[in-house]
Structure 1
Amino acid sequence: MSKHTFPKLHNATWPGIVGKGDHEPIISLDELLEKTAAANVNGVKFDGVDLGLFDPHVKLDTSDDHISWVVDKIGGYGLEIGTLVAPIWPPDGGSAMGSQADRDRFVDVVKRAAEFGYKLRKQGIRTNNVIRIDSASGVEDWSKNPLENTKLIADTFRRACDAAAEYGERLAAEGEICWGGMQSWRKMLDTLEMVDRENIGFQADMSHTFLYLLGYNSPEDRILKADFEWSDREELERGLQFLTSQLRPWTIDFHVAQNDGTVFGSGSHDKTGRHCLPTDPNGKLDIVKDAGYWLRDEQGKLTKAFNHICWDGCMFPNEVMHKQETWNSILETLIKVRDQHGWSE
């Protein structure tokens, strides 16, 4: 592949932390970087990583010394850095619809993450300006007062956008059924539209957004027929076409993933779309084809809305993540997506 072939291929670092620390130990950043850098499919390798700003991997420390440490650490593996994940949850952050102190902490974390990202871009190792967020609020709490809580979330996001804009950063709200005000395609659109900022967008994950079709945590917004059966590929494609027509225009960051149609939670993480290996026989997605619903418009034209795609294996068991063949298989899948929906410059 030419070095000017897009989208670039990234792996995620946060699956080494999210859902860990309870029944399974955290996987070190070094191991994740080693496995990512070692993956190779017919000479094609990962271009970079999307980075969670989570202790103990990386501290949300914007000092020049720490930034240089991150650049040397990741750059030393021949990898670049793409999207960042801001640690907006308590205790460092706070609920976007919580108390004033909660919301102030949320905004402060985003501001520091934006400064962190800006400094990485200045060092030349970071290739985009997107930071991933969510509402850090549960669906049950949100449902106690949907209208007012959505207003609070939108106001917090608006303030966070303004803070991020000071550093030239954009915020991508990830569509997951476990986050209040974001638990369905319609709730997500309501929140994004209410924020009303140019630097807000949507992060689509093929596993998480897949459950929007089934109406988990928001049955009134279900897209697929109530009597839908998995053998009905035509109905599934109709649902994907509708879902992506609504959220694609907002999408500024994209995760390739597989889902088996079920929810899953691990450690302290609430239940959300289950990430599966690309070869999982229970996977419901035709990954390469279905990625196209996000990467191409209704006329089939490439949107080129982002310059890299990322694999998210959040809450994979450690025994799976420790195997090099896991990352080779994932890289192979990303290459197939790019072969079908990529471009060269």
Structure 2
Amino acid sequence: MTIPLVVTMTSSSHIYPKLHNAAWPGLVGKGGDGEPPIELETLLDLTASAKVDGIRFDGIDLFVFDPHVDIDSSEEQIQALAEKVAARGLVVGTLVAPVWPPTGGGSAMGEQAERDQFLQQVEKTCRIAADLRSLGVRPYGCIRIDSASSPSLWTEDPDNNQRQIADTFRRACDIAEKHGERLAAEGEICWGGMHSWRRMVELLEMVDRPQTLGFQADMAHTLLYLLGHNAPEDALLETDHDWQNIELFYAKYQELTDALRPWTIDFHVAQNDATVFGSGSHDKTGRHCLPDDPSGKLDIPKAAGYWLRDRTGKLTKACQHICWDGCMFPNEIMLNPATWNNVLASMISVRDAHGWSVDG
């Protein structure tokens, strides 16, 4: 099946999905011996200032981590955050929970103390998310999590580790439900137990809480599920795939998206050049590209349709907002307003092809 890309309405008629930028590229890969982090207020200003044919970003997704958002924020600090966002005509969508050991969390398949740390970070993030919702600046969105574990460690005891992650995620669901939140597990090949599309589906089915735990599909990361870098047994394409063979690519992409689309509740527009980096034979991850990078392998609006429409071409409308994701870019690029106009144009192209009206 080929996803239909006929645009039947103008972008001005498309109310959904709302278009969001992401704040975490200002933190990921920054600090230490590298470039300094980019302040949240700077990213908010860049997001609010971007404009293409009269269309602006509707909101921003946040990383609950210093120096952007203190996970132990007081009510006054959360109020101040809400005011900063609202003052720029934006809203907040999905929040990234800092579940990893270096940020105060712990492995979802680790010892009990580590798993408790993981869940503590989920609890604190859900509290902030719920507070922002009650303050009127967060009308939709999820809490993003992963296993905070590496594929190399996971492979030491796959069955037991997968059960442990599933148990931790079920407990995380209990926490999320208490706060009226949903969790979105990010599909990326560097997270143990989530490092292949088949294992990701297996984990979601093991948790079996579809009303609370869904899948976050990032176009850059899910592309690498096809190549099986950390799970060769689940590869759908050869690692040296000829990218001129578009027909084969989309046939396999269909297989991938058919498996994960029913679980997808959060969606990242992104570009990828199909290369990986990282340490070891398992712990590889992908590189984001700018939307107009000539080495990018995705026709962004077309590929997005495989996630946002079912096999018949009908819109799923499962995501009220979509978010741009692109990390590890130099600050010079990120501080250039033209970068965000180009990103916004790419986001608009996805909504033009797969958006809907408020009445639709």
Q: TM-score range by the shorter chain?
A: over 0.9
Following TM superposition, by how much is the alpha carbon of 1:225 offset from its aligned partner in structure 2, in angstroms?
Answer: 4.6
The residue number in structure 2 matching 1:10 is 20
1:157-176 matched pairs, under 5 angstroms? 157-176=169-188
1:275 to 275, 285, 288: 288
Q: Could you say what secondary structure the match of 1:262 adopts?
A: strand
**Which consecutive residues of structure 1, in runs of 5 or more, have no partner in the other structure?**
none
Q: How far apart in 2 are the matches of 1:9 and 1:3? A: 14
The residue number in structure 1 matching 2:69 is 58
Moved more, 226-235 or 15-24: 226-235
2:46 to 35, 45, 50: 35
The residue number in structure 1 matching 2:132 is 120
Query: Could you report, residue by residue, the CA deviation over 1:38-60 in whole angstroms, capped at 9, with x for unpaired residues?
Result: 10001100000011111111111
Query: Could you report, residue by residue, the CA deviation over 1:193-237 in whole angstroms, capped at 9, with x for unpaired residues?
Result: 111223000000000000000001000000125663111000110
Give me the CA root mean square deviation: 1.5
Query: Could you report, residue by residue, the CA deviation over 1:90-122 in whole angstroms, capped at 9, with x for unpaired residues?
Result: 141100011100000111110111111111111
Q: How far apart in 1 are the matches of 2:48 and 2:69? A: 18
The residue number in structure 1 matching 2:158 is 146
Following TM superposition, by how much is the alpha carbon of 1:74 offset from its aligned partner in structure 2, in angstroms?
Answer: 1.3
Q: Could you say what secondary structure the match of 2:105 adopts?
A: coil
Equivalent AA in structure 2 for residue 130 of structure 1: C
1:301 aligns with 2:314: yes
Q: How far apart in 2 are the matches of 1:76 and 1:341? A: 29
- The verdict on how the C-alpha distance between 1:3 and 1:161 changes in structure 2, with shifts beyond 3 A counting, is farther
The residue number in structure 1 matching 2:55 is 44
Moved more, 181-190 or 226-235: 226-235
The residue number in structure 2 matching 1:187 is 199
2:119 to 107, 114, 118: 107
Could you tell me the percent identity over the aligned residues? Answer: 62
8 Å Cα contact 1:62-1:115 kept in structure 2 = no
Q: Could you say what secondary structure the match of 2:20 adopts?
A: strand
How many pairs does the alignment contain? Answer: 342
The residue number in structure 2 matching 1:244 is 257
1:88 to 85, 94, 99: 99
Query: Could you report, residue by residue, the CA deviation over 1:144-166 in whole angstroms, capped at 9, with x for unpaired residues?
Result: 00000011111111101101110
Moved more, 20-29 or 153-162: 20-29
Equivalent AA in structure 1 for residue 28 of structure 2: V
Q: How far apart in 1 are the matches of 2:77 and 2:56? A: 27
The residue number in structure 2 matching 1:19 is 29
The residue number in structure 2 matching 1:263 is 276
1:193-208 matched pairs, under 5 angstroms? 193-197=205-209, 198-208=211-221
Q: How far apart in 2 are the matches of 1:118 and 1:282? A: 40
Q: How far apart in 1 are the matches of 2:74 and 2:36? A: 28
Q: How far apart in 1 are the matches of 2:250 and 2:132? A: 39
Q: Could you say what secondary structure the match of 2:220 adopts?
A: coil
Following TM superposition, by how much is the alpha carbon of 1:190 offset from its aligned partner in structure 2, in angstroms?
Answer: 1.2
- The verdict on how the C-alpha distance between 1:86 and 1:3 changes in structure 2, with shifts beyond 3 A counting, is farther
Q: How far apart in 1 are the matches of 2:91 and 2:284? A: 31
1:224 aligns with 2:244: no
TM-score by length of 1: 0.96
The residue number in structure 1 matching 2:4 is none
Following TM superposition, by how much is the alpha carbon of 1:186 offset from its aligned partner in structure 2, in angstroms?
Answer: 0.6
8 Å Cα contact 2:230-2:284 kept in structure 1 = no
Q: How far apart in 1 are the matches of 2:17 and 2:121? A: 29
**Which consecutive residues of structure 2, in runs of 5 or more, have no partner in the other structure?**
1-10
The residue number in structure 1 matching 2:340 is 327
8 Å Cα contact 1:228-1:235 kept in structure 2 = no
Q: How far apart in 1 are the matches of 2:165 and 2:319? A: 26
1:317 aligns with 2:330: yes
